[in-house]
Amino acid sequence: MAPKYEIGWKVIITPVGGQHLSPRDSDIEPYAGQSGTIIDYYWINRGAEVFYIYTVRIGNGPKEVVVHEDELEAYIP
């Protein structure tokens, strides 16, 4: 399975509703609705399943967040 987003694409942060956070997870709610640019991505292979994780630079500033693929939407101006 190929990644849904590529480096350089603009995206919007969209947290999954009702998601239970473990102590190791970070709450991305403060970034909900903000746009950013994919600057890198990684994958985790769990047998037949592949999960993509993206590093997103928020706006034009230095802030970067790491989010799961299902927490992103393509930015359509």
CA dist 19 and 22 (Å) reads: 10
The pTM assigned to this predicted structure is 0.83
How confident is the model at residue 11, as a pLDDT?
A: 97
At 6, give phi and psi (nearest 5°).
-115, 160
pLDDT tens-place string over residues 17-73:
665 655 555 678 888 899 999 999 999 998 889 999 999 999 888 999 999 999 999
pLDDT confidence of 1, banded at 50, 70, 90? Answer: confident
